[in-house]
Amino acid sequence: MFDFITRRRLIIFLAAILFVTISILFIVHIRSTTISQIIPSFTPTSSSINSTDEEKSTDKCYLNEPFDVLTSCRRCRSYEQRAHATDCLPTGYREFVFCSKSNIKVYRPCAIPIRIQKERFWYFEGIVFIIALLSTTSVYLRQKSLNKQMVEKIKRQIEISEE
């Protein structure tokens, strides 16, 4: 099964994995910096273009006045994401805030909570660990099988030479 894996193919495969890993890290870095730039200032949507200046200031009162967070950062519901709610667009998470000066309660987008990022990381690490165990087991079993075949071949050669 693993007889077709040569040293050259293995090196090419490892280089490809390294390239994909670095590419993913680069894309995640770019995406995270882009999201951090998007969260404080949104690109206007069609509904906010037609609204008055007063409505714009109340929608995003948290940008220019102090606020209190009423509910912690939570994932937007699927129908809110499908409806393209402006507070769900950048990250898919939002929190409910109370603007102190204007006494307005609004939703604002927030970064993905660290707790969720940690959970996803450890879930990923668990999967990688399971794959590593399966790979190690398969390599061990394959090596054992090849050793058994080699011993049988040597026994046959010895029997043939003794006759």
- Do 31 and 72 belong to one domain? no
Q: Whose structure tokens read 């890993």?
A: 21
Token couple for 82: 């499908």
Distance of alpha carbon 160 from alpha carbon 59, whole angstroms: 90
Place of tokens 């450890």: 122
SS3 state of residue 151:
helix
pLDDT surpassing 70 at residue 39: no
**Domain contains 45:** no
* CA-to-CA separations, 78 to 2, 74, 81, 95, 97, in angstroms, rounded: 45, 12, 5, 16, 21
User: Are residue 105 and residue 129 in the same domain, yes or no?
Assistant: no
Sheet of 104-109: strands edge to edge? 67-75, 93-99, 104-109
Q: Is residue 136 very low, low, confident or very high in pLDDT (cuts 50, 70, 90)?
A: very high
| One domain, residues 30 and 12 | yes
Structure pTM?
Answer: 0.49
74 confidence band (pLDDT: 50, 70, 90): confident
28 domain residue, yes or no? yes
Are 58 and 98 found together in one domain?
Answer: yes
- 67 beta partners: 99
pLDDT of residue 65: 86
What is the percent of the chain where pLDDT is above 70? 82
Is residue 20 domain-resident?
A: yes
In CATH, what number is assigned to the domain containing residue 62? Answer: 3.30.720.220
Q: What is the distance between the alpha carbons of residues 88 and 138, in angstroms, rounded to a whole number?
A: 44
> Is the model's pLDDT at 125 over the cut of 90?
yes
Question: Can you give the residue range of the structural domain that contains 127?
Answer: 114-158
Three-state DSSP state, 37: helix
42-63: pLDDT as tens digits: 333 434 444 444 445 567 888 8
Q: Is the residue at 163 inside a domain?
A: no
Domain count, the chain: 3
Pick the residue with more confidence: 163 or 49?
A: 163
In this prediction, residues 129-153 reach a mean pLDDT of 94
Higher pLDDT, 14 or 85: 14
56 with 101, same domain?
yes
Helix (H, G, I), strand (E, B) or coil at 4: coil
